[in-house]
Structure 1
Amino acid sequence: MSDPSTKACNENDRLELALRASNEGIWDWMTNEKEIYYSRRILEFLECTASGAPNLFLAPFLPVHHLNRAEFAGAVAQALEQNGPETLAVDARVQTGGNEWRWLRIRGTVVRDRKGHAVRIAGSMIDISMRKAAEAQIEEERHLLRNLIDHVPLQIYFKDLSSRLVMINRGMAEWHGVSSGDQLIGKHDSDLFSNEHWEKAAADEKRIIDTGIPMTGQLECETWREGNETFVVTSKFPWRDKSGNIKGTFGVSSDVTSLVLAQRQATELANELQHKNASYEEELKLAHEIQQALSTSSYPPAVSENGNRIEFASRYLPISGLAGDFFEIIPLKNNRFGIFICDVMGHGIRAALVVSMLRGLLVTQNEHSNDSSQFLNKLNLGLTSILKRANVTMFATAFYGIIDLEERTMNYSCAGHPGPVISGNNCSKQLCTERSQKGPALGILKTASYSEHHQDLKRVDRLLLFTDGVLEAENNDGEQFMEKRLLQIAGEKLHDTTDQWLDDIIETVLNFSGDHHFDDDVCLLGVEIKSPA
């Protein structure tokens, strides 16, 4: 016969092996004693020896994490109550001997005496740290997903097979004017909208459930029971469980009410705007014709008594119907001629109005036309006064030169404008390159002053006055044409006529430009000075 003690030992070994396989350990506590029995597996959980292992079930329960301590103490107190429950069940984080926290699932059976007092509690513990970590991660991901769903500026909802709401996000609740989404759970569209809207919506959802084919990007007019209308762009999809079976539908809607109403208003205004636009175009055409009529199309005869003469040529390339660039040739007494070029900030009607103001001011400056400094001073004073009264911020750059044809000299002043290029003997240079030679643009400072400078023209064959549309032309690399290239081409082909010379300059700049056009208005004035043969 087998030895009973050997049999009991074998049974304990089997129990220990079974518990180890399930990652469980056993514990046994006589409630009237401080000591507690832990199996080897529990000691491994606690990372301590049998002699150093704490009795987790004795107050103040310090090894238990403070966030779990109240629940743990309550479960133990309940188990120790007279005629209390027959089981102890609690999950808690416990500090190990290695100062780490380990989640333990603790289960125990309470043994009571005849009066119902707990005399012994025995049970098992299992390490559930990995499961708790996984649950925490899942909970965090669920929280993040819910956070995203609630904060996207869209209405998101799930409906069952009967098209009743089972879940909505915060945006959907706010759309329906309720404080909590729970107030809409179980509702059908028929509870919220008119028959016309909910019947169509229900038919769409039934079709999605029957076919599994989603509906995307559909504009819907929501007619509410109260009679008001809203507009949403809606996409609906089949809602499937993890096995692929359709449980209902879910949808995403975006409020486009303001856009639809704006479109309606725009449509209502379209005819009115069309008529106004026709009138506006007619006025622009008239303004363009007036501006063109005022522009210099013929040049005054310029011959001095000693036979010196001037030939003028110009090119004007506005990028719109109304432009802000212009030039004027002003005949003066004693074989002198004023040459003026101007570039007003911007384009269109504002620039054209300022051009008209400046042309009007030019007419009043005859008494100052023989002094380039005074000429620009008075122009600036007049323009700043007008702009100040109109409370408008605008400015214009300008250059004014006075050519004495008899002496072949030029006095000039500059208001922030690119200086003209003078060419002769196959070389060129630019005037007004020093800061001291340039005053501020017209229309900015009422007290601005402009200095006068002198240039001998005896060795100069041609002058080129221009606006900055030529300099700002860009190639495909974003590089601008700038003064260096203009100086080079202005010094070439001086044997050509002045008209051909200007055409060559424009063609060279356009070939340099990446898209073969100018981005700003271009105005060129060529001045050729000839002596008797």
Structure 2
Amino acid sequence: MASWNDDRLELALRASREGIWDWDLENNSIYYSGRVLRFLGYRRKDAPNLFEKRKELMDEESVAEMDEALRRVSEGGDDLFSAEPRVNTQKGGWRWFRLRGTPVRNDEGKVVRIVGSAIEISKRKQAERELKEERYLIQTLMDSIPMNLYFKDVESRFVMANQATAEKMGFPSSDELIGKSDRDFFHEDHAQVAREMEREIMKTGKGVYDQIEHEKWDDREDTWVTSTKHAWLDRSGKVRGTFGVTNDISDLMRARNEQEKVAGKLHQQGLKIEEERQRMRLIIDSVPMNVYFKNRDSQFVIVNQSLAEWVGESQPSDLYEKSDRDYFSEEHWSGAEADEKAIIGSGEAMVGLVEKETWSGKKDTWVMTSKYPWRDNEGAVVGTFGVSSDVSELISAQREMTEMAESLQTKNKEMEEELSLAREVQQALIPDELPSMFVQSEEGEVSLNFKHLYRPASELAGDFFEVLPLEDDRMGFIVSDVMGHGVRSALVVSMLRGLIEQQAGSASDTAEFMTGLNEGLTHLLEESGVVLFATAIYGVLDLRNETVQITVAGHPNPIAVFEDGTRQLAPPAEATGPALGLVPGFEYGSVTAPLQGLRRIICFTDGIFEVMNEWKEEFGIDHMIEVIERGGQLERVLENLVQAAEEFARQGVFDDDLCLLGMEVRR
């Protein structure tokens, strides 16, 4: 039976192209199977011990990886040795191997032997390197195209946009544009026309090319752009939405300016390399500009269809291994090659150049061009790349560019004023006075009072709270913290406030209430295509029955003051769940506890206890408990908490929003 098992193991290893190694640490000897010996290119008697000779046979990075893997096995107690070193073999040069092994320990727990398998993974490593190069090329290209670029879903909401598009809409980052549509920025008339056009493109599959559009805004002067839009299809041909590029020609409308100023950035985690290649091809073939990559000899390596047609060819491949010498006069190509040699030598770009192109037997043309060093992912310059657009009829309009910059500065100032107004509106939603309640029982009067302290970290905050008067002498309270802060967080806060109103009918049951909030928020976020979440704690205080019911969704547990001391509450597992917006369909639970002995409950967001001092130490829950134990009026206790955090951090400005809600039960 043992022989049959050995044969089966040998056949399985042969099928997987793996070899076996066995390192005896006590005798300092190692055994390699025949396949491992062939991997390394040694005869059995000459084969070195990879582990003992790793500094001689491996590069520094691999040696460090092997050292760490051995340390985890010998000192860390790991049950698996795993490493992927690069080894200098006897005949085949440098090769990559995947090593996996199981440690054998003696009665004292010391590793005395490691037995495992080895397989060559050089091809996989090479494929990973090529994939990295592909992605780097796409990123480089998109970061350099001077145009506004975006992708929208079937509902005409932005799912991807570059930095230039974000700045045009008034955002510092393209992340904040995701999930919005033209209705969030333009006048309703313009937004409706754009929506109908995108519906028609998705329905018929026929795009528009270099179409002039009149953009009407609610908060700024009208603008003009040239726009190219197409249906966005996945690899199976299914419509995913639309994509397009625009170029602002507001100040050059009479001269029909086609000068685009867009730098591209496509960032969507998890895209497969084939989809990235398709996007790159879609982009360079769809933009109304000439795009090219050249090697160090100034020969074309990659060009788009626009450039092929510009020089009189029918397709991009007709230009490969050719250069400007094949199309332009010596006057032009000599200067172009000199520029490219200078860029390769210095590593510095030439941006926004106006060049006169002289042709052989063809009328001269003018182009606006930007040229950049083409680097591989290791930073080495391998050539140049550039983009250019025809400005033959627009040379006289260059002086108007200064006016455009002044206009953009004015618009940025207007956006800052709008953000300030939005903060004032958000602050206005916070009540100055919170509701209170009292109940007369046989044992006397029981009252409930609330106090709060709210301080946003930026113009728009992601923290909020609500106090909800309920029926039957009950009062609900919720404190929530949306991921991050700024415009996106404020939008999610607005969503949650709306969902709270929708869930009013279930507000007496904290588990049902929290489950409803999660379902509503998850649905809204899935439709927008963004990943956001909000932590929250919701509780219901029942003065008639003197109980409190609590449900926690990934939120910090509150601190309670009892007659016998102050401590942080620790709800059981069934009363806790993930943050809102992360797990659709999650059923939250709750816990109910008596109010006997309870004097105060203080709920808060992480902005208070995660404050750090100059030694990167957190203020922490223990410091909060110390401050609360000093007592005083509830409102003063909340102020003391913030003051103590400020003194701890030695600064008056916090990096995160502060939101504290305190409640006091008096008998």
TM-score w.r.t. length of structure 2: 0.41
Contact 1:414 1:432 survives alignment (8 Å): no
TM-aligned CA distance change 1:232 to 1:506, over 3 Å: same
Q: Which residue of 2 aligns with 1:295?
A: 430
Equivalent residue number for residue 482 of structure 1: 620
- Assess if the C-alpha contact under 8 Å between 2:525 and 2:531 holds in 1: yes
- Tell me the CA shift for residue 267 of structure 1: 5.4
Residues in 1 aligned to 2:605 and 2:402: alpha-carbon distance in whole angstroms:
42
Is residue 607–residue 656 contact of structure 2 (8 Å, CA) maintained in 1? yes
How far residue 257 of structure 1 moved from its aligned partner, in angstroms, is 8.9
Match of 2:661 among 508, 519, 525: 525
**2:577 aligned counterpart, secondary structure:** coil
The 5-angstrom pairing of residues 508-519 of structure 1 reads: 508-519=644-655
The CA deviation at 1:303 is: 1.4
Q: Corresponding residue for 2:468? A: 330
Whether 1:465 and 2:603 are equivalent positions in the alignment is yes
Give, as a single letter, the amino acid of the residue that structure 2 aligns with 1:364. Answer: Q
Q: Which residue of the other structure, out of 449, 462, 467, is the alignment partner of 1:311? A: 449
1:481, distance to aligned residue in structure 2 (A): 2.0
Which residue among 450, 453, 459 is the counterpart of 1:321? 459
Q: Of 480, 502, 515, which aligns to 1:342? A: 480
CA distance in 1, matches of 2:538, 2:401: 49
Aligned to 1:358: 496
Match of 1:388 among 483, 506, 526: 526
Letter in 2 for 1:519: D
> Could you tell me how far apart the structure 1 residues matched to 2:475 and 2:570 are?
20
Deviations 1:31-70 (A, max 9, x none): xxxxxxxxxxxxxxxxxxxxxxxxxxxxxxxxxxxxxxxx
Aligned AA (1:523) = C
Instruction: Tell me the SS of whatever aligns to 1:517.
Output: coil
Runs of 4+ in 1 over 4 A off after TM superposition: 170-175, 191-194, 219-233, 254-259, 264-269, 433-436
Q: Which residue of 2 aligns with 1:500?
A: 636
Post-superposition shift, 1:340?
Answer: 0.7
1:304 partner SS: strand
* Contact 2:574–2:590 (8 Å) recurs in 1: no
Is the Cα contact below 8 Å between 2:483 and 2:532 reproduced in 1? yes
Is the aligned partner of 1:450 residue 2:585? no
In the alignment, is residue 401 of structure 1 matched against residue 536 of structure 2?
Answer: no
Q: Kindly tell me: are residues 269 and 418 of structure 1, through their superposed partners in 2, closer, same or farther at Cα, counting changes over 3 Å?
A: farther
What is the identity percentage for the equivalent residue pairs of Structure 1 and Structure 2? Answer: 36
Q: Gaps spanning 5+ residues in structure 2: where?
A: 1-294, 301-320, 336-347, 360-364, 373-382, 389-397
| Cα drift, residue 379 of structure 1 | 1.2
Deviations 1:117-152 (CA, angstroms, capped at 9, x unpaired): xxxxxxxxxxxxxxxxxxxxxxxxxxxxxxxxxxxx
Letter matched to residue 618 of structure 2: Q
Q: Using a 3 Å threshold, how does the CA distance of structure 1 residues 224 and 316 change in structure 2: closer, same or farther?
A: same
- CA distance change for structure 1 residues 192 and 475 in 2, over 3 Å: closer, same or farther? same
Give the 3 Å change call, closer, same or farther, for CA 173–444 of structure 1 in structure 2: closer
| Higher-Rg member (1/2) | 1
Deviations 1:308-346 (A, max 9, x none): 112221111111111111101111122211111111112
Counterpart residue number, 2:340: none
- Answer yes or no: is the 8 Å Cα contact 2:465–2:478 preserved in 1: yes
Structure 1 counterpart of 2:92: none
Contact 1:432–1:438 (Cα < 8 Å) also in 2: no
Q: Cα distance 1:266–1:318, how it changes in 2: closer, same or farther (>3 A)?
A: farther
1:423 to 561, 576, 585: 561
Q: What amino acid does structure 2 have at the position aligned with 1:493?
A: R
The answer to whether the 8 A contact 1:231-1:255 is kept is: no
- 1:80-91 maps to which residues of 2 (within 5 A)? none
Distance (whole Å) between structure 2 residues aligned to residue 345 and residue 407 of structure 1: 36
In structure 1, C-alpha distance between the alignment counterparts of 2:620 and 2:606, rounded to whole Å? 9
Q: Can you give the 5+ residue segments of structure 1 that lack an aligned partner in the other structure?
A: 1-169, 184-190, 198-216, 234-253
CA 1:256–1:380 in structure 2 vs 1: closer, same or farther (change >3 Å)? closer
Of residues 496, 509, 512, the one that matches 1:371 is 509
Separation of aligned partners in 1, 2:385 and 2:457: 38
After the TM superposition, which residues 101-500 of structure 1 pair with which residues of structure 2 at under 5 Å, given as runs? 269-305=404-440, 306-425=444-563, 427-432=565-570, 435-490=573-628, 492-494=629-631, 496-500=632-636
Shift of 1:511: 1.3
Equivalents in 1 of 2:603, 2:506: separation in Å? 21
SS at match of 2:438: coil
Deviation at 1:174, TM superposition (A): 7.8
The alignment covers a number of residue pairs equal to: 321
TM-score, reference length from structure 1: 0.51
Contact 1:341 1:400 in 2 (8 A): yes
Conserved? CA contact 1:222–1:232, under 8 Å: no
Q: Specify the SS of the correspondent of 1:478.
A: coil
Aligned in 2, Cα 1:370/1:277: closer, same or farther, shift over 3 Å?
A: same
